[in-house]
Amino acid sequence: MRRKMDKDLLTHLINEVNSMVTEEIKIMEVCGTHTQMIAKLGLRSLLSSKIKLLSGPGCPVCVTEEKYIDWAIEILNRYHVTVATFGDLMRVGGGKGSLLEEKGKGKDVRIIYSSLDIIEMAEKNRGKQVVFLGVGFETTAPIIALAMKTAFERGIDNLYFLTSLKLMPPILHYILKEANNGIHGFICPGHVATIKGADYFKFINREYHTPAAVCGFEAIDIVAGIYYLVKQITQGKKNAFQNLYKRCVKPQGNPTANLLMEEVFNIVDGEWRGIGNIANSSLGINEKYTRFDARNAFVVEDQQVKIRTSCECKDILLGRKTPKECKLFKKRCNPLTPQGPCMVSTEGACTIAYRFGEEV
Amino acid sequence: MCIAVPGEVIELFPPEGRVKIMGVETTVNIQLIDDLKAGEHVLIHAGCAIEKINQNYYNDLLDIFKSMVDGNEKEDG
Ligand code: SF4
């Protein structure tokens, strides 16, 4: 029943969108999971060619700075440690190689699926130091905070966190203010909003007079989001905002998760791969938890290794270009020999464009 | 990486709970959610339930959609 309803509704919404649009409309989906779903559904082939769906900076692996990977490799090389990480980070290159290459050389690098598994890993390996690589956005940050708080309460003293946790609003301010990409509307990431609340994204319409919608990740969620945005844009309603993911997203988000983040982290400047330093765009570890900070516990040389590359990830992440417009795409750059992080992560715009054979 | 999946809560043994995700049972942390009960649905990310899913699953979207088509939608902004 629901399937049929969805299908009818989807067809209706897509037809409506196509009949509304007369001029080019650029919509950015900020989150990599949205990019993946749009490609899986083949949405671009169903929508009018006047609608340009652009991928944004919401794939955490794609924006993790080279220096971060180099720190992890330095720690592995200088100390007798276990490094635990999410799988997506394994193939990302820093200036000195990747964690996968280090594992190949016999280093102890392990993939985990939940940041809470590291508590068990540290408890079972008391004789060894465990370093967890915690990357992500506001969706993942409270779970890493919970792991750190749990380690604190249990007195675990062989666990460290090398974090690169990013915040969405500063990069969106950058995109709206400086990136010069002519974006007309935003599909906001539903899972970040689940934690931080729908109101977290209202600055997009209030400060920049650009329509925005918080969307979930099923076909109907995304298509309804595009319908909503195209309708507002074509009617000139620049201050429009809608939470289309109310089944999970409250206006203020999850208060328990937010309190936890406040307890463990503070807001600091952050380095974004390809983009550079953005003020107040990252989470640092608070004083109370500083003994868990791998940057304090391990001495590593902070030398920036410059990578010479023609990778255009920066322009892709900022909505100025599509993967097809990069001259390395599908040539020197492919999932087997990725030249940039957008081709490494399964949620990277270039990987998705490669896999699904469509312009992303 | 930011993917989150829906699951049904089968059993609670705080700080964890047993959930069923697409027919497969697994254990997740439930500390980020208050007043969780068996039978409720949650959104799960990186081994942790991050929010309850409102059981009126599609109603909100359909309501919004209906009002959008009717041209009298209420803005959230
Ligand atoms: S195709 Fe490869 S080189 Fe080009 S932008 Fe994407 S990741 Fe970078």
DSSP string, B4-29: -EEEEEEEEETTEEEEEETTEEEEEE
A47 CA from centroid of ligand 1 (Å):
25
Q: What is the pLDDT of residues B1-58, one digit of tens each?
A: 668 889 999 999 999 999 999 889 999 999 999 999 999 999 999 999 999 998 776 6
Peptide bond into A341 cis (omega under 30): no
> Considering only CB atoms, which chain B residues are within 8 Å of A143?
29, 32, 45-48, 50
Domain boundaries, chain A: 2-58+170-243, 66-168+253-297
pLDDT of residue A60: 87
Interface of chain B toward chain A, CB-CB under 8 angstroms: 1-4, 28-29, 31-34, 43, 45-48, 50-54, 56-58, 60-62, 64-65, 68-69, 73, 75-77
Which amino acids bring their CB within 6 angstroms of ligand 1? A 311-313, 316, 323, 326, 328-329, 333, 339-340, 342-343, 350
Q: Residue A100 in 3-state DSSP? A: helix
**Domain A66-168+253-297: which CATH number of 3.40.50.11740, 3.20.20.70, 3.40.50.300, 3.40.50.2300:** 3.40.50.11740
CB A92, CB A341: distance < 8 Å: yes
Q: How far does A257 lie from chain B, in Å, by closest CA?
A: 6
> Considering only CB atoms, which chain B residues are within 8 Å of A117?
47
**Token pair belonging to A152:** 């604190």
Mutate to test the interface with A, among B16, B40, B51 (most CBs of A within 10 A): B51
Would you say the pTM of this structure is higher than 0.90?
A: yes
Contacting A residues, span 164-193, partner chain B, CB-CB under 8 Å: 189, 191-192
pLDDT of residue B73: 62
Cβ neighbours of residue A158 under 8 Å, at least 6 residues apart? Answer: A122, A125, A126, A127, A128, A129, A130
Q: What is B5-76's CATH number?
A: 2.30.30.140
pLDDT of residue A212: 97
Per-residue pLDDT of chain A (360 residues; tens, 9 = 90+): 455 567 788 888 999 999 999 999 999 999 888 988 899 889 999 999 999 999 888 888 888 888 899 999 999 999 999 999 988 888 888 888 899 999 999 999 999 988 778 999 999 999 999 999 999 999 999 999 999 999 999 999 999 999 999 999 999 999 999 877 889 999 999 999 999 999 999 999 999 999 999 999 888 899 999 999 999 999 999 999 999 999 999 999 999 999 999 999 999 999 998 888 999 999 999 999 999 999 999 988 766 666 657 788 888 888 888 899 999 999 999 988 888 888 888 888 999 899 888 654
Q: For A304, which DSSP code?
A: P
Fold agreement (A2-58+170-243, A66-168+253-297): yes
CA quadruple A260, A264, A266, A269: dihedral, nearest 10: -110
A81-85 and B24-29: which strand pairing?
unpaired
CATH topology of domain A2-58+170-243: Rossmann fold (3.40.50)
| pLDDT at residue B63 is higher than 80 | no
Q: What does the alpha-carbon distance between residue A351 and residue A341 come to, in Å, rounded to a whole number?
A: 9
pLDDT of residue A278: 95
Q: What does the alpha-carbon distance between residue A82 and residue A285 come to, in Å, rounded to a whole number?
A: 21
pLDDT of residue A360: 46
Domain boundaries, chain B: 5-76
CB B62, CB A187: distance < 8 Å: no
Inter-residue long-range contacts of A290-296, CB under 8 Å, 24+ positions, other chains counted: A291/A157, A292/A148, A292/A151, A292/A152, A292/A159, A292/A160, A292/A161, A293/A160, A293/A161, A293/A163, A294/A71, A294/A75, A294/A131, A294/A160, A294/A161, A294/A162, A295/A71, A295/A162
